[in-house]
A and B are shown apart, each in its own frame.
Chain A
Amino acid sequence: MTTLTREETDPHVQDIERVTIRFAGDSGDGMQLTGMQFTRTSAVFGNDISTIPDIPAEIRAPQGSLPGVSAFQVSFSSYDIYTPGDQPDVLVAMNPAALKVHLPDLPRGGMVLVNTDEFTPANLKKAGYESNPLEDGSLSSYRLFEVPVGTLNSRALRDLGLSAQEVDRSKNMFALGLMCWMYSRPLEQPIKYIEDRFGRRNPKVAEANIKTLKAGYNYGETTEAFAQHYHVPKAKLAPGFYRNIAGNELTALGFLAASKLAGRPLFYGSYPITPASTVLHELAGFKRFGVKTFQAEDEISAIGSAIGASFGGALGMTGTSGPGIALKSEGIGLAVMVELPLVIIDVQRSGPSTGIPTKTEQGDLLQCMFGRNSVAPVAIVAPQTATDCFDMAIEAWRIAIKYRTPVIFLSDLYLGFGSEPWLVPDFESLPKMDPNFATDPETFKPFARDPETLARPWAIPGTPGLEHRIGGLEKGNIDGNVNYEAANHDLMTRLRFEKIARIANDIPDLEVFGDQEGGELLVLGWGSTYGVNRTAVQRARAKSKSVSQAHLRYLNPFPKNLGDVLKRYKKVLIPENNMGQLLLLIRGEFLVDAVGLHRVTGRPFMISEVEAKIHELVG
């Protein structure tokens, strides 16, 4: 493998800082795996990386059809990146449907690499092409590379005695090999992966995959088709141990860590729902850590079980997406009333009702804030990146335990499925939490409160002398008996409200990136818009614009200094993947004439869209 690394003297190698590739094909073509392997190779090589999959809602839509297209986008660079890229620089289209679906995202002049073998009349028809785009000149403004991937793959594997189907399944590795050559990636990582995955179980398949991977690489090397290839130098990542990991996986790890930090077992009740199910899958694999998972009969049962587990002294949790939050509203209200620690994960997806389950959105903020009967405030935290999911998961439990309150962990599909390098912490470096159970029968009152936090005691069954009854009916202050008196209800409502408000004393101030003392424009956001906003603000600042960024990881209550921060800027822009939900809260609470930027396409913002709005506001 002497030719597998870049030769420094090669005049055909061009250094570039950042590349975004989108691998697209039929859902059976292995595009997710191809993308992930390319990502891994780039990460190990030393680039900063960011990825996002684009998975069809249908598990196996008809082959070659538009709904069956699956894609994976990876961005890798020689500097810190915050998003998987707006538009790809390169589109790898394994069939006409993939080209049809993804070409509109490719900028003019972008590179498109197609697998010509699949451009048959039948496939073109399935993709809705009236004429062959490879022949009708419609791709003339792109750099088109036509590669008969299927043919080359079959040729590479013809002596191995594999079935036609087995041969066909390997063709994604040919594409991976070719991309590795194009971007000067060594093949060691993908080879190691193939050996680990198939080596022992199915050596023949492993051999085939490696062979076609190398064939793809060598095709780039030897054919005259590609005039150039590229080199993206290493990024300067802080030293340490890294793991490329998706947000949902980190969410699960964060909650497991919280359970170990609190010394209480984790109980997760959940009903399968896209895009939250992978959290359930991860936690179900943590049995050796004592984690208990319960696949409930519905969303209501899922939160009920979590409340029951918390009543028993476990860290009771449930997780879902927007439609499930709607069903859990009643349960969240109960948890507000009984004041037990509870964490609810909402991995937001697109649209009202069933909407678009496999696309992202930020439409649940107001549902989480207000979607319950009467006055029922809960704490809300929102991770801003895939790796932030870990930190905010621990934070959610810190607040839930200390304040005996439900906390909503408001993530979204883009964060949950996107992956980036996580600087792996030492568990021992994380702060411990004290569940601080009540044990003293002499002083115990079910609704007596901590004077500072207003939290009530957590008295778990099995503790002698603390037998008491809780429930959804209004309770008397301190004694906890059923109480319908007017003054008591007013007091209890205010206490529950004030308790959540006081969390603001216990969370970090909002930080500003940019002009600390104030300036023309503040771009304020929450959740997964962090990377896009940051990049857009960086670009504006590079043009000497007075633009700063602040990003809220605590949505209820807000950080204490938020009002002060807002006042320092002449204008405030709030980009959201909804029709202006944080905008409503900010305008309502601070009387600031903030402006919104709304996009609800099921995809994250493009950096250019936020940039354009910034330009409009500050010239």
Chain B
Amino acid sequence: MHKTTDSKLSLAHILVAYVALTIGGICGMLQGMVRGGVIELPLGIGYYQVLTAHGVLMALVFTTFFIIGFLYAGMVRTTGPLIPTVNKIAWVGFLMMTVGTVLGVIMVLLNKATVLYTFYAPMKASPWFYVALVLIVVGSWCALVAIVSQFRYWKRTHKGKMSPLFAFMAASTMILWFIATLGVAATVLLQFIPWSFGWVDTINVMISRTLFWYFGHPLVYFWLLPTYMVWYVILPKIIGGKIFSDSMARLAFILFLIFSIPVGLHHQLMEPGISPTWKYIQVVLTFLVVVPSLMTAFAMFATFESFGRSKGAKGLFGWIRKLPYGDVRFLAPFVGMLLFIPAGAGGIINASNQMNAVVHNTLWVTGHFHLTVATTVALTFFGVTYWLVPHLTGRKFTKKLNRMGIWVTITWAIGMVIMSGAMHIVGLFGAPRRTAYTTYNDHPVALEWLTYERVMAISGTILFIAIILLVISLIMMVRAPKGDEEFPIGEVSEAAGTTPAVLDKWWIWIIILAVLIVFAYTMPFIDLLNSGPGSKGWVTW
């Protein structure tokens, strides 16, 4: 596989992703050390500036760029080279997102946008920060158009056939992303930009929060669905097994599309102005989106067990020993899968209506998302990187690279388990998230937290070591011997049965989703429109 403009496209995205991860990782380590009372930041750098950079670079830039680069590569693999218009739109999108990213980072570095990655009103950043966000989001919509166009091109040229599973999932992911980003685009374009440029005096804070979290929950499924794609479609090929069920995998993705969006209120359970009834209704919908993850858990274990038994494993758990733990392409996603067990369990707790009061805005929440996105999703993406970059650059995934990858996986997992574990515990003791070093005047409650915060500092440093190993790996990848590295795509097991055509017909599901969004959000939105005169802007940093 030699470098084509398609592979350059994916590589460009992956490069930006890892630059973001590295800078974001430095920020993370510094935060941990400040919070643990180990250092003070030099040169007048603010803790909250670093925190804003960390959140934006990790949760928005690393993820979005890696996902889109990965999806393009998989589309090429399963549907053929990108048609010329698609390739062009994709590059336009990349440029917009990159310009937006650079602009946003500059604003943060200039201390004009120390508002954290959730940029809650009425804290008012420089209008150019919001412009940067628009560029990133609209750039990503180019990726939506590109991927859906490529998908539709394949459908037109293979009339009557079921789409390749990867392509179906990629298109689902981008459609979910588009519908989700309508919320954040609405609040940024219609509220933040006019307000920060001074064209209007006030902003309706609750509406802006509600629009953000309409986006903020499906955002995590934008991260999770590509992760699940690796598990469903790629891992079976890597281990030498088969995809457990094509139809159940598609059904799971459709359920994610429908149920991951009309649920944003579960991030606003402790807020005023929203009735308990509608909070609870969206909690019920949230619990429904747990179901496709339960299906995925079954499918994963089933894939492994079928494979193990096909290799002669006996007994209830003999198949566990047959898995290729020495192959980072399997090991990293697998460790991500295992850690999704506590991650997902924590998520269900967080969404449980009044129970959220126990954990809201504490470090428990930080522990939760370091397990979900920063371990499950990140480790899966790292595992993919070890074969994807060789594949795209026409080089080999060597044994040395594999060993580096195993070290990265182990180091990362140890760092995250310790750090996230400490965060969950100290969060239950009430330690707030998004807060610099403090003991609240040596209050006894706060002094209890110090040991855990020191543990967080140490484990944050362990994680940074893993990032160094990862960067070294990336350098090794582009210097590895030339060769053909496969993009593994699994085959479906014969036992899986036929896939009903209705699972490939999106219009039905998008209409159901639209109905659910209207149902779940109309009344809360109307309640919030009826508000006071709104808030002027504040620059509190």
Chains A and B bind each other = no
